[in-house]
A and B are shown apart, each in its own frame.
Chain A
Amino acid sequence: MEESELMKNCEALIIGGSAGSLEVLLRVLPALSPTLSFPVIIVVHRKHGTDSLLPDLLSGKTSLKVKEIEEKEQAMAGTVYIAPSDYHTLIEQNKTFSLDYSEKVNYSRPAIDVTFQTGAEAYKGKLVCMLLSGSNSDGVNGLKSVKAWGGITVIQDPETAQVSYMPAQAALQLKIDYTLSIEDMADFINLLS
């Protein structure tokens, strides 16, 4: 994997996933550098009412600080942020988070598209978005926005995904910058720093 100049400017990484993505996160997080120079924002589909479980589960897997997003909070480097269930997470121009209880998008709230799209406008060319395993196409339109605003698009190699539909749809609908196996993800992320 080559390091590009673009990647050195990374100001935020957003990871979106659905069915089969938790396992990937549990494997990738332990291998992340404890001194990442950007925030990692995670949006995964899950059932409403299981809120505190995911940050607890993930914080046991990394020395990075892991927390659930609070509204109006500033995104800080070296922190892993988890989008709360049953709200959309939006990123403002000043890099703070907003929460929104509007209609579901792609039958999902949080919708990966919403965070990718607002993140793309806030971070423009300095954003990396990664779409993992999942069974619907949430996140695909978001990746198109990321591309349009000059950011970098990454998908989990559909071959390695428990449910390949989501990353496969992304690959079908736009030109993806990087397609990664689970083993390569942590190195890729650490190199962005």
Chain B
Amino acid sequence: MYSEVSLINDEQVEILLADLLDHYGYDFTGYSRASLKRRIIRLYSLDKALSFAEFRYQINNDPVYFKRFVEQITVNVTEMFRDPVFFKTLRDVVLPKLGTYPFIRIWLAGCSTGEEAYSISIILKELNLLHKSLIYATDLNPVVLEKAAQSMFALSQMKQYSENYIASGGQLDFSSYYTANYSLAKFDDELKRKIIFSTHNLVSDHTFNEFQLILCRNVLIYFDRDLQHKVLQLFDESLQPLGYLALGSKETLDFSPLSKNYKRVPAEKIWRKVS
């Protein structure tokens, strides 16, 4: 698994990125290279590729392997109610404000395997807003979306998620939301009814609706500054006036020219579009 000097060099990374764009239309050229390279090397080593040429050939000619490649080079680590204080602000400040609208449209961009989508659904249900909400949960990667749609997560995670849920202001018994099934926790279908899982590539796809809340947490960190600006522009176009944009705990709107049109919710990485 481990090698002191890289199995794949910077030039080879660029060759693979050019291939992905040419053959499949997936543009990763705006991604930060250190992380991308690390993940490519990880996969190369995990799959015991015999040579760079063979690795490259397989990506370009085997559609199944290509899917695996995209899944593995993007980071899909996520959890329910991650950063509980953030979800507490959603529950106490943001969603009650949006609750005054007749209909709430939420875009969760880069939803990965869906843990955050179900977290938001749970809060909406507890605020009695779920019936008039719709969550568009998107990711560039169809494999993780298939998993997300199954609403099943490892039972071993539930202790942590339950703690997060309580820290985020949840007052019910978290286990009432799922049924344990061997090593999996299957979440209630009711939570899924208002979630639409769909592919969307932030790099190349356009806006598809207007939302009152857009969440995109820990996605922009993988993009270079130019791509970050471009994606923030896309969010701005997709956000209604007085709508909210939520980013990850290490991400910010501060460097974007758009920031002058936004007002930050104190102490959180949430901005409200004020003009």
Contacts and interface: CB of A to CB of B under 8 A. Distances in A.
Interface of A: 70-72, 84, 87, 90-93, 98-103, 114, 117-118, 121-122, 141, 144-145, 147-149
Given A72-B225, A100-B221, A101-B221, A114 B5 contact: no
A144 B33 contact: no
Given A70-B250, A91-B34, A93-B10, A148 B221 contact: no
Q: Which of A87, A122, A147 has the largest number of chain B CB atoms within 10 A?
A: A87
Contacts, number: 64
A90 B34 contact: yes
Q: Is the interface of B mostly helix, strand, loop or mixed?
A: loop
A51 B167 CA distance: 18
Interface of B: 2, 4-6, 10, 32-35, 38-39, 75, 77, 218, 221-222, 224-225, 228, 248, 250-252
Contact of A93 (B5, B33, B218, B248): B33
A117 B2 CA distance: 11
B229 to A, nearest CB: 11
Contacts of A84: 250
Contacts of A102: 35, 38-39, 75, 77
Contacts of A72: 32, 224-225, 228
B35 A90 contact: yes
A87 to B, nearest CB: 6
A129 to B, nearest CB: 13
Contacts of B250: 70-71, 84, 87, 99
A148 B34 contact: no
A53 to B, nearest CB: 15
Given A92-B33, A100-B38, A102-B39, 5 more contacts: A71-B251, A90-B35, A98-B35, A102-B75, A118-B34
B5 A92 contact: no
B266 to A, nearest CB: 15
A90 B38 contact: yes
Nearest to A86: B249
Contacts of B33: 92-93
Contacts of A148: 4-5
Nearest to A121: B6
B221 A71 contact: yes
Q: Which of B35, B218, B248, B252 has the largest number of chain A CB atoms within 10 A?
A: B35
A145 B222 contact: no
Contacts of A87: 221, 250
